[in-house]
Structure 1
Amino acid sequence: MKKFVDRFQELETLENEYNSNSSSFVVLYGRRRIGKTELLNEFSRNKKCIRFLATEESEKMNREAFSSIVSEYTSNPLVKKASLSWEELFDLITDYNTDDKELIIIDEFQYIGKSNPSFISVLQKIWDTKLKNNNVMLVLCGSLINMMYSQTLSYDSPLYGRRTKQIRLKQIPFKYYKEFIDSTDEKFLIEAYSVTGGVPKYIEMFESSNDIYTAIKNSILNSQSYLYEEPEFLLKNEVQEVGSYYSIIKTIACGCEQLSDISNALEIKATNLPKYLKVLIDLDIIERVVPITEDKPEKSKMGLYKIKDNYIRFWFKFVYPYKSYIESEHIDFVLDKIKDGFIKNHVAYVYEDICKNQYLPELIIKNTFGFTPTKIGKWWDRKDTEIDIVATDNSNNIIFGECKYTKKPLDVNVYYDLLEKAKKVNWNKQNRNEYFVFFCINGYTEKMQNLAKENLNIILY
């Protein structure tokens, strides 16, 4: 049996809905391979339930398959021989005698609505007239994010307002990687995370290796592996103009992160880009970030578009440009290209995210700084100054952080460089308490350790 990792909050939400005294209607969605099925397996363990996996066949074929499952659930062999409507099938479920709440899970739900859009209205009527007033928990699960949203959560959907909970399942945080991969090597775990990005099915491909490049060669540069074409599959299932989205992601991966730069690179009017960018943001593929000190982030002209998904970022940097070489079996040539830029151009940036999202919060929770920041992010100006981490509170306290994924220990020069960069940050400049925090995968020089001992506002993680 595979080990069930994380998902504590999602599992608790499902259990609470199941144990409530009223009917429950839960929408569970998230990208493919993110662990929805494993979550439902864990939740439904030791519970009697109807579990149906919809397919891309017609609605009639799905209804007949559902009928067979209802037949087994109710121990009524006549059911699968009859041609029953959805309403009649759900009547059989609710009329079936059971002391426990009846659990109905429809996985890949979006396929039924795709084959027959009127099915959404049929299910709405079934919920309103049958399920809502019975001891039932209905879970609709799907992996096509845009379609699941439009069918179940959108204001225009007949099912709008019926759900009692919705869960969007996202990637596993880095802190749980030790439970997936049996390794005490923090560097390997970070590098594995920088590629697999918290997607459980991707992580499984790296479990048996303790060398990152071997794992990449076997699991990604192999044209027979599902990871090789995974981004293409994800986009083709979510968007129609695949080429336009490909071009945008590729451009961002190449370093064009401002709206004007993306526009110029693609020779597209900047006013035509937001609709595509919004879709990619909704899919959790990219994000728009602004300097943490901006008062009105949504209106800031300093916004940058970053690829949020680690695997897609890796793939567009190191796989997509070399597909012709991979398919002509020049694998070692491509692997050498990856080795040249993997740490500097990829892992180092993912390490910054780990420091910002995990390591710094760990220090804050331990009250290391004596205050609790309310905003954590990055900072940059219009020239060439950038600070990896800046965190502020609602008073006058500010943290400046630097993250180094380097082969050498961090030395005092990094502190003095950060001190100079901090002077350019115009936030409560006349009256603020400054703290400096450093993260380095290979530790700190003796000079740096001594400096931190002499200055209480310097923290070495």
Structure 2
Amino acid sequence: MPFIDREKEMAALESAYANPAASLFVVYGRRRVGKTTLLAEFCKGKRVLYYLATEESITSNRAAFREMAADFLQNELLRSAKDASWETIFSTLFAQSCNEKTVIVLDEFQYLGKADKAFPSVFQRIWDTQLKSKNVEVILCGSLVHMMMEQTLSYSSPLYGRRTGQIKLKQIPYAYYKQFFPEMQEQELILYYAVTGGVPKYIELFHQGSDIYNAIYQNVFTPQSFLYEEPEFLLRHEVQDIGSYFSIIRSVAAGNCRLSDIAASLSISATSLPKPLKTLCDLDILEREVPPTEKNVETSKKGQYRIRDNFLAFWFRFVYPMRSFIESGHAEIAMQRLQSGFITNHVGYVYEDICRNKMWELNAQGKLPFLFDRVGRWWGGKDTEIDIVALDTNDRSKILFGECKFHQNTQMQLSELRRLMSKAAAVQWGTANREEYFILFCISGYSEELCHLAESDPHILLG
């Protein structure tokens, strides 16, 4: 599979490499997101010592690293120094000057700190006394997000303040999917993105399917498939009480979005939820949404939680509730349920996210009537919800409302614009005579009436 996206991350690593000063980069992110691939691409053609830490003892890791360093230097004396300390190994690595910058990658760095809690302090001493004055770029990489944050980024970490840069690697945006599937039309691309969610490993697996449903069946809907138990695998090393976290995600997937609703659905106190919810947000599994019209986003009582990760949202909606059928050999029943609700209960929401991201692109390109600094979903009361509301918090005279429809074979009609205009009246924000704009997104296009209206009215936009 081709190396796609990651331009900003590569630029940051290359900039540090080009700088004559030493650099210490922290690269972290969830499993399967492509960290190792990014580093492999960056390391091409460079003088590199790459070490993948394991969950073995710190003594075993040190011995393995010493062997790699000895191979790297072709140094038999180091190879025979069985009791060499970490400090000795690193001092030997840089005992002789080299004109070419050396890149040292410690992958799965968190396992070293897990095996020996003192290791971050040991490495901090090595950096301060040896490495920071050398011609070196050190990259600490890890896939257990919480451990990496604690060991390298938190204020309590011995390495705090030493790093010269950090990259939290995330999923590849939808905008790049055409490069993965160049023959696909946009409607089908969105279906694939709705399940794989920009995770390179998942994209690679789904390349093998002849269509989206066949790919889902092969890779998710059989107990032996790679992704059948993926959510459990992702959470197993990140949290201790995996059952409690699963229950929270399942509750959110079932439509319990407010903290009080999640607590009620699980029959627990709402005061016990902020910590696990924050953990799930740190892991990019959940996110807290607030209507863009709220004055104080952080303290707003209108906050709602949603599953941020496309694959996990898909899995908890269509796999987890159907595991009994799948494991009893009746996956066809699960597939029938999937096909009846896939578009309306999952893809439609993913399409809304795609459109909101497109709003930022249009905003940056100056293709909208005004520049905004907030965009998001808006809700008020029980039944009133607007897919897109965009506004400028410094100019309350203009506001933009949007509607997104993933109609596979039906064009968007004028009646849907009128419904949007009606709902917009419920949004209390801005001046009494604010100027209102409306933008529509539909995967199957727009009726002639809508097209003519958009041509004649600058307040109506078609995405």
Q: TM-score, normalised by structure 1?
A: 0.98
State the aligned residue count.
459
Aligned to 2:285: 285
Question: SS of the counterpart of 2:355?
Answer: helix
Aligned to 1:21: 20
Deviation at 1:77, TM superposition (A): 2.4
Aligned to 1:400: 401
Question: Structure 1 counterpart of 2:429, which letter?
Answer: W
Distance 2:388 2:101 in 1: 48
Contact 1:286/1:307 (<8 A) preserved: yes
Question: Structure 2 counterpart of 1:428, which letter?
Answer: G
Contact 2:209/2:218 (<8 A) preserved: no
Question: Structure 1 counterpart of 2:421, which letter?
Answer: L
Give 1:434's match in structure 2, choosing from 415, 433, 436: 436
Distance 1:419 1:161 in 2: 51
State percent identity of aligned pairs: 51
Question: Structure 1 counterpart of 2:78, which letter?
Answer: V
Aligned to 1:57: 56
* Residues 133-178 of structure 1: per-residue CA shift (max 9 Å, x gap): 1111111000000001111111111111111111100010000011
User: Where do 4+ consecutive residues of structure 1 move more than 6 Å?
Assistant: none
Question: SS of the counterpart of 1:226?
Answer: coil
Question: Structure 2 counterpart of 1:422, which letter?
Answer: A
Give 2:423's match in structure 1, choosing from 421, 424, 428: 421
Question: Structure 2 counterpart of 1:446, which letter?
Answer: E
Question: Structure 2 counterpart of 1:113, which letter?
Answer: G
Contact 2:194/2:347 (<8 A) preserved: yes
Which runs of 5 or more residues in structure 1 are unaligned?
none
Distance 1:293 1:239 in 2: 34
Deviation at 1:92, TM superposition (A): 0.9
Matched, 1:224 2:224: yes
Decide which moves more: 57-66 or 422-431: 422-431
Question: SS of the counterpart of 1:319?
Answer: helix
Question: Structure 1 counterpart of 2:257, which letter?
Answer: E
Aligned to 2:140: 140
Question: Structure 2 counterpart of 1:374, which letter?
Answer: D
Contact 2:249/2:307 (<8 A) preserved: yes
Aligned to 1:297: 297
Distance 1:429 1:386 in 2: 21
Question: SS of the counterpart of 1:132?
Answer: helix
Contact 1:291/1:302 (<8 A) preserved: yes
Distance 1:68 1:81 in 2: 9
Question: SS of the counterpart of 1:157?
Answer: coil
Distance 1:170 1:28 in 2: 11
> Equivalences for 1:4-403 in 2 at 5 Å?
4-83=3-82, 84-358=84-358, 360-393=359-392, 394-395=394-395, 396-403=397-404
Deviation at 1:4, TM superposition (A): 1.0
Contact 1:391/1:398 (<8 A) preserved: yes
* Residues 52-84 of structure 1: per-residue CA shift (max 9 Å, x gap): 011111111111111111111111123222211
* Residues 175-221 of structure 1: per-residue CA shift (max 9 Å, x gap): 00111123331111101111111111111111233411111001111
Distance 1:368 1:132 in 2: 46
* Residues 27-55 of structure 1: per-residue CA shift (max 9 Å, x gap): 10000110000100111000011000111
Contact 1:183/1:189 (<8 A) preserved: no
Distance 1:155 1:72 in 2: 36
* Residues 255-299 of structure 1: per-residue CA shift (max 9 Å, x gap): 011111111111111111111101001111001111110001112
Deviation at 1:363, TM superposition (A): 2.9
Question: SS of the counterpart of 1:221?
Answer: coil
Question: Structure 2 counterpart of 1:331, which letter?
Answer: A
Contact 1:194/1:347 (<8 A) preserved: yes
Distance 1:237 1:226 in 2: 18
Deviation at 1:330, TM superposition (A): 1.0
Distance 1:11 1:173 in 2: 16
Question: Structure 2 counterpart of 1:268, which letter?
Answer: I
RMSD in angstroms over aligned alpha carbons?
A: 1.2
Distance 1:31 1:136 in 2: 26
Contact 2:410/2:444 (<8 A) preserved: yes
Contact 1:188/1:210 (<8 A) preserved: no
Distance 2:238 2:40 in 1: 25
Question: SS of the counterpart of 2:461?
Answer: strand
Distance 1:72 1:444 in 2: 64
Which runs of 5 or more residues in structure 2 are unaligned?
none
Question: SS of the counterpart of 1:398?
Answer: strand
Question: Structure 2 counterpart of 1:34, which letter?
Answer: V
Question: Structure 1 counterpart of 2:104, which letter?
Answer: I
Distance 1:440 1:373 in 2: 22
Decide which moves more: 398-407 or 449-458: 449-458
Deviation at 1:361, TM superposition (A): 2.8
Deviation at 1:222, TM superposition (A): 2.3
Deviation at 1:427, TM superposition (A): 1.1
Decide which moves more: 145-154 or 182-191: 182-191
Question: Structure 1 counterpart of 2:231, which letter?
Answer: P
Contact 1:74/1:96 (<8 A) preserved: no
Contact 1:183/1:210 (<8 A) preserved: no
Contact 2:121/2:159 (<8 A) preserved: yes
Q: TM-score, normalised by structure 2?
A: 0.97
Question: Structure 1 counterpart of 2:432, which letter?
Answer: Q
Aligned to 2:414: 412
Distance 2:457 2:296 in 1: 34
